[in-house]
Structure 1
């Protein structure tokens, strides 16, 4: 795939505010974990992301995906007669009964509107197959340790976001991660890990072209406005303060956001084993999952920090609804 060339997808790409036109998109640049570290580091800082092909053994990813959907199967989310590892949505069910974490309406306690499906999706965050095995994948940890140079100081934060996206439901809005990690230095690394293959129109993450430079600019402007409006330092660190959109998003719709800043959204297909590393200021979102086979998109956000430096201690706790982070 050519880097940042205009894709001609086999299906149209939709986000929360409409269809992305071909001229509004480009492709992510793929990288191999075996390339020289200095090359990968330069690419990460220049592009704001590093799209690594096959970093994690595929079998490790599929095993975790299977365990996840076995856990959620009592909710009725899976099509009858299909294998849990395939994660095929039962299209006869109402998609609104199966909302994704962080991509839909929530009650006053931060809980997405939904029944047992939502409870099981939260429970999955603390299940041993995920928390104790998948989140501590040795191939991923070893690469992060070498790539950052943090070595023995490399710390995987406990709080993670394990997100499903059933077909047709709302996608993730526009944001950068430092919004939610402001109680620490801006040196964290996010690893977005697709837990299964994701088609181009299957709801995968999309990245704003050179989005990290815009994210840094927005952050500086935010703190200037916070000072002018009299926010305390603690209030300015809060992703839910009066100067932010609901939930800390920059925008709900990627289409208008990209047009406003005259930047394209970079897209790709993902395979089980791929990992995307991105900086705290890299602006990203996701497409709506319109997978032709009704495959549920599953992915997780894992954050890594240098434990010898100040970091956001709120992320040392397991994710829970309404935790304010």
Structure 2
């Protein structure tokens, strides 16, 4: 279980955990504000619109999350990623091996979702991709009724609520490169900016264990950045279709806003918000909410596992390119 931290909007103190991102220490951070799933929907919607996120404690039954975690690491075990003598639920990395053999997958590859690692990583990467197709994941976990029913009520979309097929099931080995700064609409530009992302930790993630961090009240900044990107793309001579591409000529070739979260927050004088996550927690965030992750420095070597699930209103225009299971080199 993660250690308990009382959420506060005060700056972190020297006694609080020392956290790191890709460009060094995370010097100025505070805490995500937790909400309970049974709070009045009107209040939760207000928080979501004002803060760009809601951090829901215990939305999914803990044992259901841990069952999926065990299934994942049972599936990944042939790659040799787990420390001998430990369990699948623990998900502890075998530190006797090189982390280069076990690269993460997801947003941030140059030019799109290119295959990471070299031949040593082949088994691990293949299984990490194939995990997206397993029934315990795509049919049971991704369609968990506790989450889908909450989204349906929270969004007001009712029967038009659609969980889109393309999800991102990400592992993060201790000490490896973390996720850079981005907002999701960059990768969903072929649809209206109305999707809701559910970030779901698949197991406990300590505050220094590589979980997501959110730039404080920066969803308005994300919207402004998107407008700036569009105007820059059009003024440079790109077509409307070219401007929608997440890796167009006016942006970083990774689709990210920045690879350096610490420097990014200083540029806009905003704090990152962090949390101790527990199995069952879910964070919902808007298409423009700016987020990244810390470097996983879990002292026990626990592998950070989480998934990005996205929901749309099927009665409105959404990015149909995401109507498929995740695969490499899909340009998204």
The answer to whether the superposition gives a TM-score over 0.5 is yes
Contact 1:13/1:287 (8 A) holds in 2: yes
Aligned to 1:139: 146
Q: Distance in 1 between matches of 2:18 and 2:97?
A: 24
Task: Tell me the distance in 2 between the aligned counterparts of 1:76 and 1:213.
Answer: 43
Q: Which residue of 1 is the match for residue 93 of structure 2?
A: 89
Q: Tell me which of 273, 289, 311 is aligned to 1:282.
A: 289
Taking a change above 3 Å as real, the CA distance of residues 202 and 31 of structure 1, as seen in their structure-2 partners, is: same
1:21-32 → structure 2 map (5 Å cutoff): 21=27, 24-32=28-36
Deviation at 1:105, TM superposition (A): 5.9
Deviation track 1:259-279 (CA, whole Å, cap 9, x = no partner) reads 001100000100000000000
Q: CA deviation at 1:97?
A: 1.0
Q: 1:121 aligns with which of 128, 133, 137?
A: 128
Instruction: Extract structure 1 runs of 4+ deviating beyond 4 A.
Output: 103-109
Q: Please, what is the CA RMSD of the aligned residues?
A: 1.4
Whether 1:4 and 2:36 are equivalent positions in the alignment is: no
Q: Normalization by structure 2: what TM-score?
A: 0.95
Q: Does 1:17 align with 2:53?
A: no
Correspondence 1:79 to 2:67: no
Contact kept, 8 Å, 2:113 with 2:331, in 1: the verdict is no
Structure 1's unaligned 5+ residue stretches are none
Query: After superposition, where does 1:152-163 map in structure 2 within 5 Å?
Result: 152-163=159-170
Q: Name 1:299's counterpart in structure 2.
A: 306
1:238 maps to 2:242: no
Partner of residue 37, structure 1: 41
Structure 2 unaligned blocks of 5 or more: 1-5
Preserved CA contact (<8 Å) 1:104 1:170: no
Are 1:67 and 2:74 an aligned pair? Answer: no
Deviations 1:101-158 (A, max 9, x none): 1367679981111220011000000100000100000000000000000000000000
- Aligned pairs, number: 323
Tell me how far apart the structure 1 counterparts of residues 303 and 319 of structure 2 sit (CA, whole Å): 31
Whether 1:166 aligns to 2:173 is yes
Q: CA shift at 1:4, angstroms?
A: 2.4
Change (3 A) 1:233 1:313: same
Per the alignment, in what secondary structure is the counterpart of residue 142 of structure 2? helix
The structure 1 residue matched to 2:58, chosen from 34, 54, 57, is 54
- 2:272 corresponds to which residue? 265
C-alpha displacement at 1:316, in angstroms? 0.5
Is the 1:103–1:171 contact (alpha carbons within 8 Å) kept by the matching residues of 2? no
The answer to whether structure 1 residue 101 and structure 2 residue 105 are counterparts is yes
Task: Give the secondary-structure state (helix, strand or coil) at the position aligned to 1:178.
Answer: helix
1:171-217 Cα deviation digits (max 9, x unpaired)? 00000000000000000000000000000100000000011010011
**Cα separation, partners in 2 of 1:302 and 1:103, compared to 1, 3 Å:** closer
Paired residues of 1:104 and 1:112 also in contact (CA < 8 A): no
Q: Tell me which residue corresponds to 2:196.
A: 189
- Is this contact kept in 1: 2:10–2:30, CA < 8 A? yes
Who is 1:150 aligned against?
157
CA distance in 2, matches of 1:63, 1:213: 37
SS of equivalent residue, structure 1 residue 227: helix
Q: Scaled by the length of structure 1, what TM-score is found?
A: 0.97
Deviation at 1:226, TM superposition (A): 1.0
After superposition, the Cα gap between the structure-2 partners of 1:104 and 1:210, relative to the gap in structure 1 and judged at 3 Å, is closer
